[in-house]
Every structure is written in structure tokens, then in C-alpha cells.
Structure 1
């Protein structure tokens, strides 16, 4: 299927890290997780875009959300493409083609992915209009739930849909929040350079690292509870990379080196 092939190619271009666990998933689940990842990466690229002002980001995100909310037996791919085509010179391919990614998933679970993407897109629009103003831990919890904890809940639904795997949904939120907190730490200077600070007022790197570790502890519990199978295979890689990245940042490194990333992935997958 050409769309499946295109999706994996774009996935590899946008995230070599997530390409590996997604490409190893069995047929059906692979398409569902790839669809979810690409849809959410598409809106994430809009939220983080350095050359779009906040009102335009909100407008684009709300357009995507409303289109997905209007879906019944499919997404109006052409209409959505026309809406986004005005910004082809600014937006990456993964964002322009979001309507196609939404149609990649098996039809029995696709509406759950559309709903999750629509909700997240709407929340991102809210945060863009408020310039990601985070003053307290409650604000941080709201933001990390909006863009990451909700992904943990979606993944839990995908595991249950595929083979009945049941998970602790509080731990699923921690899984998403923990990974997002590590991203916030890793990108802190870059975010501040573009006028955004996800740290609550008065928080230091140490405080954010503690927040990340608390949530990664729930992510550990989430992963430990998974039976042998595709869900466990998938979750182990981003979780291990998050822990390793957090350790590297705590030691003063800017990020986890590519060599360490590849070594860790090889260790977890047994790839040669």
C-alpha cells in the first residue's frame, strides 16, 4: 500500500527514534500507531514552528481540530490539504499531509485517533494563544497532560483494541508526562530563545528533573505491567531513551549522544 510506504518514509525522516519501535509492530497495530504518531507530530510541528505567529498557529490547529471532529466514515483529505496548502512553504510535509495520516489506521480504531488528535490540536491552540504561560506546577501538569499524558491514554486504548492488553491509566498519563518533561529539559534553552518557558515560576533544572523522575517512575510501573508482546516492545525504547537522556542532562551534557542512542536501541532490540 503506497500510503503505508509513504508514512514509514516520513516517519523515518521525522523521528528515527520512534521509527524503530513503530516499524517493529505487527500489521494493523503498526498502521494505527503510525497514524497516531504522524498526526500528533503534524500538529506538534505547527505548535513549535519558529516562523508562525501564535494567532496563526491557533487558527491552523483549530482548523485541523474542526475537520477531524467533522469526520464520520473518513477524513475530508482534499479540503484539509487545500486549507493547509497556503502554508506549504512554511509547514513540513508531515503537517501538510495530516489528512492522509489520519486515514492510515484500520477503520475500527481510526475514530479514536481522530478524536485524540482533534482534542490535542484544540488544546495546543489554547496554549499558543496564551503563549504557553506556565506559572505553577498545576499549569505544567495541564500542559503535559494536554500534549503527552493524553498520548499515554491513547496508546493504552490502542493496546486494548489490538489484543486486549489492559493497563493502569494513571500510569499511562505518567508515561506521557515523563517523556514530555524530559523533552522540556532538553529543549529549555532553545525554547527560551523563541520566547517560551515551560518551567513554572522559580523552578530550576533540578526541580524539573525531579518532576520528570516522578513521572518516569509511573512510566516504569506502566511498562513493567505490560505482558510480553508488541506493547512492551514499543514502550521499552522511548522509556529507556528518556531515562538515559535525563541522566545525561543531569551530568551536564546537552543531550544524549547519537552513539549512545543507537547502542541503547540495539541493546533493547537485539539488532545487529
Structure 2
């Protein structure tokens, strides 16, 4: 099995939401987006790991960042091995193989993905050092930019690299923030169980839902402005599921069921057929 096929297999195992749109992308763009997603997922799994203490998370994340920053001319797959040695048995495969995900992208866009992942790893290390303490909406904005808004910016750069598609970058940040806010709502109970609360002080779930909806307005505008093509096809599915999840949570459900997801995807498919 080649690296691209293996990466798609790991992608399918780690994300039901993103596997479908990524697997449908044209080959070069698929390699770039898969590389970016798995690199981000690799560090996200470290940030969220239930058996690592915060100092260990911060050290691992900064080690990854430094390795990626050294990769101006590329790097060997095993360049990350030393940093992982103390935690090899705890870390998931997607994290241990970050070096492979880094070299999956076409070489003319790979440095942008390394840069974005390195910056995000540093930001995650900061939040781990500070136990993800959120006091105000400004703190929440900083966190959601750190882990998701910046991903929106990276995606915009990937669309421009692939076929010249230009996007509104403020809306791109809203796209990332909106999806992350829905994740915060969906995972709130689990986060509280591990001693982390992403809600600003005094906020209820209704406040967080309003925050998510404000950002999803920007996400809708971002997606609506995309021309027909790979970028639009990619963005529509996670945005649709984010709206569906937010509606479900507002109605008292814990999450979307598999049947809910399939129904939403069928609605999108029918709508595209009508438009087409």
C-alpha cells in the first residue's frame, strides 16, 4: 500500500466527517489536504490525550513544532522519533507518523502545511501550559483561532495554490471557528470530566450556541462565495454537519446519529443534482 492510500485509510479511521470530502478531491489537492488534516490531527490527539499530563503535552508539541520548522528542505520520516520515545506506547498511530503525513503533500505546498502545523503546535503548547483557561470571550476567540480559525486560513491557501480560487480570509477564520465552537458544545461534558471548560465565565450553552451561530454565518458566506469545484465540494459537508449538530444540540440531543448524518448527506446530494 502506498503512502497516499495508507494515509486515506488512517483518515477514514480518525474522521467520519472529513474522510468523505477529502477522498473525493482531485489527486494533488487530495494529497495536500490529507497531509494537512493528518498533521493537524496528529497534534490534536496529543493536546486531547487523556493519559498525558500538561507539561508532557506542551513539550511534545513544541518538539514537533521545532522539527517542522527545521524542515525547510524536507526531513526524514524518523526525525520525530527521539521526541516521541518517552511516550511511544501512549501515542496513537496518527501522531507517531506525523513525519509521513508531512512529506505526503506536493513539495510546492508542503512548507505551508509545515508552517501552519508548527504554529498550531506552539499555540496548543501554550494552552496546555495554561490548562486551557478561558475567562472571557476574547480568550475563547484566541483559542478557537489557534486550533481552527488558522486552519480556515490554511485551506484558503490550499484552494489558491491548486486552482487560483480566492476567498475572504475573515470568513475563512469564521469557517474554522464555527466548526470548532460546535465541537466545544458537543464535547462539553467530556471536557468538564477532564477538568477543562472552554466556556467563558458565566456562559451557558445558549451563549456558546449563539457564538457558534455567529461564526457559522461567516462560514456560510465563505462557502456561498466559492465557485463550483473542489473547494466548494470539500467545505459543504463539514459545514452541513456542523449546522445539523448545532440544531440537534439545541433540540436536546447529544449528537447527530448515523442516520441523521446520512439523511443530511442525501439532502445535499439531491440539492446538488437539482442545481446541476
2:88 corresponding residue in structure 1: 88
Alignment of 1:118-129 (within 5 A): 118-129=118-129
2-structure distance, mates of 1:176, 1:187 = 17
**Matched residue SS, 2:200:** coil
Question: Residue deviations 1:22-67, cap 9 Å, x none?
Answer: 0000010000000000000000000001110000000000000000
| Pairwise CA distance, 1:82 | 3.5
2:200 corresponding residue in structure 1: 200
Question: Residue deviations 1:242-262, cap 9 Å, x none?
Answer: 000000000010011111112
1:253 corresponding residue in structure 2: 253
2-structure distance, mates of 1:135, 1:208 = 13
The TM-score normalised by the length of structure 1 is 0.97
| Pairwise CA distance, 1:100 | 0.4
2:41 corresponding residue in structure 1: 41
1:11 corresponding residue in structure 2: 11
1:190 corresponding residue in structure 2: 190
Instruction: Judge conservation of contact 1:248–1:254 (CA < 8 Å) in 2.
Output: yes
| Pairwise CA distance, 1:84 | 1.5
The TM-score normalised by the length of structure 2 is 0.96
Alignment gaps of 5+ in structure 1: none
Alignment of 1:1-272 (within 5 A): 2-269=2-269
1-structure distance, mates of 2:269, 2:58 = 39
Instruction: Judge conservation of contact 1:47–1:57 (CA < 8 Å) in 2.
Output: yes
2-structure distance, mates of 1:259, 1:247 = 15
Q: Note closer, same or farther for the CA distance 1:34–1:144 as it changes in structure 2 (3 Å cut).
A: same
Question: Residue deviations 1:61-99, cap 9 Å, x none?
Answer: 000000000112212321213321432211110000001
1-structure distance, mates of 2:76, 2:269 = 38
2-structure distance, mates of 1:32, 1:267 = 28
1-structure distance, mates of 2:266, 2:80 = 39
Question: Residue deviations 1:192-245, cap 9 Å, x none?
Answer: 000000000000000000000000000000000000000000000000000000
| Pairwise CA distance, 1:266 | 3.4
2-structure distance, mates of 1:91, 1:244 = 32
Structure 1 segments (4+ residues) deviating >3 Å:
none
2-structure distance, mates of 1:136, 1:234 = 32
